[in-house]
């Protein structure tokens, strides 16, 4: 119940400040519409004729990373208003505080990804693996968002102000995005960049999502492997965020 109360409290703040939602989706929408229209003319061979469908998984991950990054920003707003410390001294489990705020970022990610999906339908994107593929995309997106929201939460508690936080998170998000297969297939990447892409777990999530969109067959082995990797990453980020919040309460 405590988790749901904190989740609802944060979501209510979001919808009272809709500009925070708008800002996190403007950039991905620009990427999806403009970049696919401009670059798609010369890259149709990469996507089997629909470059928008090819880059959609990467844009989905970018939306997820942006939403979860904005989730950590809430801590600085709460600290400036004093509500952060009121929650700390309230009879609420520390795990509920962390989980409630992380789930808010996850829920916001899903809302914005739904918007992207609706827009992509008008751009002739279809999921080749059908309804099963759509259902399999949900846990991948959830795990990606949960991991990033925990990491963002922990980082926000380490830093002194929102300016430094925003700078660091932008660096992290853009580094993850551009060292992935979001815009180009793995075959077109070589050298040191290819090594960076190979060790980037988000690149493999993008590949899994892309295969569900573009291919009729489902690679269950790869899906289960990535789900297992991200479950471990989620446990690590949640533990780090919880540990950091407990340290914050001590100080």
Our CA angle for 143, 70, 157, nearest 5°, is 90
For residue 238, the model assigns a pLDDT of 94
Q: How far apart are the first and last CA of the chain?
A: 27
Q: Could you give the CA distance from residue 29 to residue 51 in angstroms, rounded to a whole number?
A: 15
**144 in helix, strand or coil?**
helix
Q: Could you give the CA distance from residue 187 to residue 64 in angstroms, rounded to a whole number?
A: 25
**49 in helix, strand or coil?**
coil
Instruction: Delimit the domains of the chain by residue range.
Output: 2-250
Measured in whole angstroms, the distance separating CA 187 from the mean position of its chain's CA atoms is 25
Q: Could you give the CA distance from residue 71 to residue 124 in angstroms, rounded to a whole number?
A: 32
Chain segment 171-190, per-residue pLDDT in tens: 999 899 889 988 888 877 77
Average pLDDT value for the chain: 83
Would the CA dihedral through 186, 190, 192, 195 be positive or negative?
A: positive
For residue 150, the model assigns a pLDDT of 93
> Of 13-17, 28-32, 116-120, where does mean pLDDT reach its minimum?
13-17
Closest CA to 129 of 29, 206, 51, 214: 214
- For the cut 60, the answer to whether the pLDDT of residue 40 exceeds it is no
Model confidence at 22, pLDDT cuts 50, 70, 90, reads confident
Q: Could you give the CA distance from residue 80 to residue 59 in angstroms, rounded to a whole number?
A: 32
Chain segment 134-177, per-residue pLDDT in tens: 999 999 999 999 999 999 999 998 888 888 998 999 899 989 98
Chain segment 214-240, per-residue pLDDT in tens: 998 899 999 999 999 999 999 999 999
Better-scored residue on pLDDT, 12 or 170:
170
Q: What would the mean pLDDT of 185-209 be, rounded to a whole number?
A: 87
* pTM, full prediction: 0.89
For residue 37, the model assigns a pLDDT of 67
- For the cut 70, the answer to whether the pLDDT of residue 48 exceeds it is no
DSSP string covering 7-44, please?
A: HHHHHHHHHHSTHHHHHHHHHHHHIIIIIHHHHGGG-H
Closest CA to 208 of 177, 235, 181: 181
Measured in whole angstroms, the distance separating CA 60 from the mean position of its chain's CA atoms is 8
**Cβ 129 vs Cβ 140: under 8 Å:** no
Distance set, CA 178 to CA 61, 109, 126, 183, 235 (Å): 12, 20, 25, 8, 25
Q: What would the mean pLDDT of 27-41 be, rounded to a whole number?
A: 69
**218 in helix, strand or coil?**
coil
């Amino acid at each position: 119940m405590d988790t749901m109360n904190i989740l609802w409290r944060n979501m209510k703040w979001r919808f009272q400040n809709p500009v925070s939602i708008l800002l996190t989706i403007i950039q991905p929408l620009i990427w999806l519409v403009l970049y696919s229209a401009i670059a798609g003319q010369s890259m149709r061979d990469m996507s089997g004729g629909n470059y928008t469908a090819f880059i959609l998984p990467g844009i989905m991950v970018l939306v997820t990373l942006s939403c979860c990054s904005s989730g950590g920003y809430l801590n600085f707003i709460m600290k400036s208003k004093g509500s952060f410390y009121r929650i700390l001294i309230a009879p609420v489990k520390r795990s509920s505080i962390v989980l409630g705020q992380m789930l808010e970022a996850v829920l916001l990610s899903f809302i914005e990804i739904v918007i992207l999906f609706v827009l992509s339908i008008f751009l002739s994107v279809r999921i080749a693996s059908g309804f099963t593929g759509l259902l399999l995309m949900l846990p991948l997106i959830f795990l990606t968002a949960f991991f990033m929201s925990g990491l963002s939460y922990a980082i926000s508690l380490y830093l002194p102000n929102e300016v430094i936080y925003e700078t660091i998170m932008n660096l992290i998000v853009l580094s993850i995005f551009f060292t992935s297969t979001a815009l180009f297939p793995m075959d077109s990447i070589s050298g040191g960049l290819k090594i960076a892409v190979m060790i980037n777990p988000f690149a493999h999530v993008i590949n899994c999502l892309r295969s569900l969109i573009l291919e009729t067959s489902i690679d269950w082995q790869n899906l289960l492997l990535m789900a297992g990797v991200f479950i471990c990453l989620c446990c690590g980020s949640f533990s780090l965020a919880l540990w950091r919040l407990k340290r914050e309460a001590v100080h």
